[in-house]
Structure 1
Amino acid sequence: MPRLVGARISDDGLPDWLRPVAEVARTVRPEQLSRFLPPAEGGRPSAVLVLFGEGERGPDLLIIERSPDLRAHAGQPAFPGGAVDPTDDGPVHTALREAAEETGLDPSGVRVFGVLPDLYLPPRDFVITPVLGWWERPVPVRVVDPAEVASVHRVPIEDFLDPANRLRVRHPSGYVGPAFRVSGLLVWGFTAGLISRLFRLVGWERPWDTSRVEDLPPEAVELARRTYEQTPEAPSGGSV
């Protein structure tokens, strides 16, 4: 893939509905987004692309479903992203590169308008930089490598905000965290926690039944176990 030149951060040309997200990104503190903060030293640098677009049903987010054959976080819905490579020019470059490799996205069509504070995912010791993007010139996306990604989705933001799609899930370890049932996916763990807290800070959240708690489905527990067994102090997927 050619070197990514457009790593400059700018909120010029954003649609009005997205400007509140850019405003929150300027002032948000890490503890407002997660209870897991990066260690003073160490951790594995990584980045994810939180990509906002406009589809047939209005504003949406790009979500991938990870392959069930992966060793860690198998089968989990997530933002495109991954570990920083030595040749990457910072987290913005990492997020765009990974999104292109996983979904066929054209990085030149993405305007990066903000970067959230680094967050921590204990099961894999990842220090994650969430990169905020506006999909100025969208292209069709797809599964590039089935060994890494099972499916790719543009999920309408309206579906995340619909109270009927919101719940909390309980892992056998005792972890309880936010989740969404959208596009045939159960979005939970780090991804659901970040979406939930970000949308609340932006002012988009609607009242929903926070007492609705369901056990994590057995198949999700089994897939999560691969990560959990590697790091027993936190369940797979973590929670923000």
Structure 2
Amino acid sequence: MTAGPGPSAAGALADLLALCAERPVWEPHPERAFDDPPPGRAAPHARPVRRSAVLVLFGVLDDAAARTDHPAVAADLDVLLTRRSPTLSHHPGQVSFPGGGIDPADAGPEAAALREAQEETGLDPSGVRVLGTLPPLPVTVSRNLVTPVVGWWDRPSAVAATDPAETVDVFRVPVADLVDPGRRVTTVLRHAGHEWRGPAFDADGVLVWGFTAFILDRLLDSVGWAVPWDATRTVPAPV
């Protein structure tokens, strides 16, 4: 996929629309993916699988351009991220996309992602254009089957952490900086004799890793914005 002559926000939007139309960025995961527990953990068969959605929101979010020049990504293209409260039972303190469980009253993953984003960051959902969804992904440790909802911020609104018990920070990250090879590393998590490795991003001293980094890594690759980086550079997972 190409964004036309030179990187631009309009070209990025076209790339994301094409990505959502083509699907999948990864193979769909059925609920039986939860039958195999993560390394070192017992299978929590007593708990039902929870269906959730996250909002992967792109747009020209502020006046601060990326520090990194990138041939395929506009300097003013950003993605919205949050940092979870350190007191939460699952994924405490991790950087994440806004989102949460799909309630019975929600019309679907798109509605749930917008509702949760509004509750967590205060954004005005009427200014968000939903571009599509990506195949659901399992988060086995919390038994969540998560649908990423890709959005474009047509009319950005003020955002901030609205509930410190759930979210402690809301911030915008230039996409061109995320794909800078100097800001990319592999996280290593060792537990009970097992080892897990995954992609990670240094967002101005904040490590984006785990589930959120996996989505970003695969999305950036699939949309054609990623550049080669040294996956042998490792850091321990901050747990």
TM-score range, shorter chain: 0.7 to 0.9
Greater share of helix: 1
Matching residue within 64, 69, 75 for 2:82: 64
1:153 and 2:159 are equivalent in the alignment: no
Q: 5+ unaligned residues in a row in structure 1: which ranges?
A: 1-13, 222-240
Note the alpha carbon deviations across 1:214-237, whole angstroms, 9 max, x for none. 222xxx21xxxxxxxxxxxxxxxx
Matching residue within 198, 208, 222 for 1:187: 208
How many corresponding residue pairs? Answer: 202
Give the 3-state SS of the residue equivalent to 1:139 in structure 2: coil
Q: Distance in 2 between the 1:18 and 1:166 partners?
A: 24
**Contact 2:57 2:151 survives alignment (8 Å):** yes
Identity of aligned residues (%): 46
Matching residue within 54, 76, 84 for 1:48: 54
Q: Distance in 1 between the 2:98 and 2:116 partners?
A: 6
Give the 3-state SS of the residue equivalent to 1:175 in structure 2: strand
Alignment of 1:155-234 (within 5 A): 155-173=173-191, 174-216=195-237, 220-221=238-239
Matching residue within 122, 125, 136 for 1:107: 125
Which letter maps to 2:230? Answer: D
**Contact 2:198 2:210 survives alignment (8 Å):** yes
Runs of 4+ aligned structure 1 residues displaced above 3 Å come to: none
CA-CA distance at 1:38 after TM superposition: 2.9
Q: TM-score when scaled to structure 2?
A: 0.81
Q: TM-score when scaled to structure 1?
A: 0.80
**Contact 1:33 1:198 survives alignment (8 Å):** no
CA-CA distance at 1:21 after TM superposition: 1.8
Matched with 2:44 is: none
**Contact 1:111 1:134 survives alignment (8 Å):** yes
1:18 and 2:39 are equivalent in the alignment: no
Q: Distance in 2 between the 1:128 and 1:38 partners?
A: 11
Considering only aligned residues, what root-mean-square deviation do their CA atoms show, in Å? 1.6
